[in-house]
Amino acid sequence: MSVAELEITREADVVTYDKEAAKQVLLDEVRLGLLLAEKGINYNPAEIREFQDYYEHTSAYNRQRGLTGISLPHGVTARGGFNRFTPYSLVVENHKPVLYDDGARVGEISFHKAHPVTETVLSSGEKFRHVANVSQEGGVSVAYSNECSLKDKGEDCLFCSINERAKDGVLNKVLIKSPRQIAEVYHLARQAGVGNHFRITGGFVPERREQEYYLDVADAIRERYSSFYGVGIIGAPSDFGVLHKYREAGFTNISHNLEVWDRNLFAAICPGKEKRNGGWQHWVASLEYAVNVFGKGNVHTNIVGGLAPLQSTLEGIEYLASKGIVCHFSAFRPEKGTPLEGYRSPEAAWHWELLDKGTEIFRRYGFTTLQLYSGPASAPHHGQVFQIKYGEFEGERLAQWKFPSLD
């Protein structure tokens, strides 16, 4: 080997080493984020209020002294509830919020801010933010209904707080959003350059009503735009042929959220989904059929990490990935007013193992970062880990990922 070739090899080794070292820094920050979720943060609400987005500050979670929408020093997103007896604390130094771990300075953190377009007043008089929100990734997310009809039947999913949140008049000023309102916020977002993904979800409603509503929304959007990129989050239809109608209407992705892979736990934790949509086997069959309609990686489901044993959850992610389905996973957080209030989510190490092994499955089956962010609103929980592990970052900071522009 010549001297010149040796120098090139050495330079390449340095670059590789630096990239690997930076990757470890970022993955360690992911672990820190999981520890914050498990152990909480000690802070003075009045001291940090000026740094928070107003809408985040008024949310039910934050009014219960929990912090959301935090970016840690290297860009990893985190959250954590208030806890006086934790090694983690947040203080203000030189007019900046700083995180400490048992007295050792971790670094400056930042709070996510809502996009200015969300303050726009719609033609109906409501603000944009009361109908939809804009994600940090540059997408529009709509919960068309803030209530779920399963409550009246006594069949709510045991972990879900949608009906409890519907009582919150601060956040839920518009209980049912009309297709016209949704099309208007989508148009405003797209004009502002942040309508590059559209996500619509809501509480359980009868299948026919859900289908008609989603198609009306798509039609209203397409009065202005020939196409849009987005996901409809729906219950498994009794007739799989209905899925073609969603695709024809313009949805590019579809999701049925299973919540739990184990079929027995599914029936126990999601009694309404078990009784009203054909049961666990029907949900899985509908997801598999949907791949024929929307294509590999464009069909999604979500599992709540921590409601079932780790091995069962990973088996579900693996099986669905083998069928071309992206099985997203969020972290179980016991919610106030639900039957599981007072329960505990598994420790941070459990969630890390799920993140580590789950993202390996995604990579092995050839899914992309875009597909990880295009489903139900569970990323960046695993989306950021996917990016870090496979080198989608520069230096020692993970930049905010954005949906590709449509215009």
What are the residue boundaries of the structural domains of the chain, listed by start? 12-111, 116-389
Per-residue pLDDT of the chain in tens (407 residues, 90 and over written 9) = 443 443 444 444 554 558 999 999 999 999 999 999 999 999 998 899 889 876 654 455 444 567 888 999 999 999 999 999 999 999 999 999 999 999 999 999 999 999 999 999 999 999 999 999 999 999 999 988 766 767 667 778 878 877 666 565 555 555 689 999 999 999 999 999 999 999 999 877 666 688 999 999 999 999 999 999 999 999 999 999 999 999 999 999 999 999 999 999 999 999 988 888 789 999 999 999 999 999 999 999 999 999 999 999 999 999 999 999 999 999 998 888 888 888 999 999 999 999 999 999 999 999 999 999 999 976 678 999 999 999 999 999 999 999 999 98
Q: Do the beta carbons of residue 175 and residue 145 sit within 8 Å? A: yes
pTM of the shown model: 0.91
In angstroms, the CA 16 to CA 65 distance is: 42
In angstroms, the CA 191 to CA 209 distance is: 30
Q: Do the beta carbons of residue 378 and residue 330 sit within 8 Å? A: yes
The pLDDT assigned to 109 comes to 97
Q: How many CB atoms lie within 10 A of CB 84?
A: 8
For 255, the 3-state DSSP assignment is strand
Smallest Cα–Cα separation from 41: which of 121, 93, 110, 102?
102
CATH of 116-389, one of 3.40.50.10490, 3.30.9.10, 3.40.50.150, 3.20.20.70: 3.20.20.70
Q: Do the beta carbons of residue 147 and residue 203 sit within 8 Å? A: yes
**In sequence order, what are the residues at sequence separation of 6 or more whose Cβ sits closer than 8 angstroms to the Cβ of residue 281?**
263
Smallest Cα–Cα separation from 49: which of 60, 58, 41?
58
Backbone angles phi and psi of 335, in degrees to 5: -105, 145
Between the two ends of the chain, the Cα-to-Cα distance in Å is 50
Q: How many CB atoms lie within 10 A of CB 195?
A: 28
